[in-house]
A and B are shown apart, each in its own frame.
Chain A
Amino acid sequence: MNAAVNKVSSHYDEVADSYDYRYDANFGKFYYNDISRHVMERFPKDGRLLDLGCGTGLFVRHYVNEGGVAVGIDISRGMIGKASDKCASSDFTIGTAEVLPFCDGSFDAVSSLLSFSYLNQPEKALAETFRVLRPGSPIAVCTLGRNLFTRGLPALYHISEAMNLKKACFGAFGERYYSVEEMEQLFYGAGFIDVRVKRCSFAHYNLARPIYVLAKKIEPFVERNIPYLAYNICASGRKPYDNEIELL
Chain B
Amino acid sequence: MALSGIAIYKLLPKTNCKDCGFPTCLAFAMKLSQQGIKLSACPHVSEESKQALDASARPPIQLVTVGTGERAFSVGNEVVMFRHEKTFYNPTALAVRVKTSQSREAIAATVAAVDAYSVERVGIHMRLNAIAIDDAKGDPAAFASCVEQVSSITKMPLILISKDPRVMEAGLSKVAGRRSLIYAANSENVAQMAALAAKHGSPLAVQGDGLSQVAEVVEQANKAGVEELVLDPGARGFGNTLNTFTQIRRLALKSKERLVGYPVIAFPGEGSISPEEEALLASQLVIKYAGIVVLDHFAPHHAYPMLTLRQNIYTDPQKPIQVEPGVYPIRDPGRDSPVLVTTNFSLTYFSVAGEVDGSGMPAWLVICDTDGLSVLTSWAAGKFDGAKIAKTVTTHEVGSRVDHRFLLIPGHVAVLSGEIEEELPGWSVLVGPREGIDIPGYLKNVWTARLQGAKK
**Are both chains from one complex?**
no
Chain B residues engaging chain A, CB cutoff 8 angstroms: none
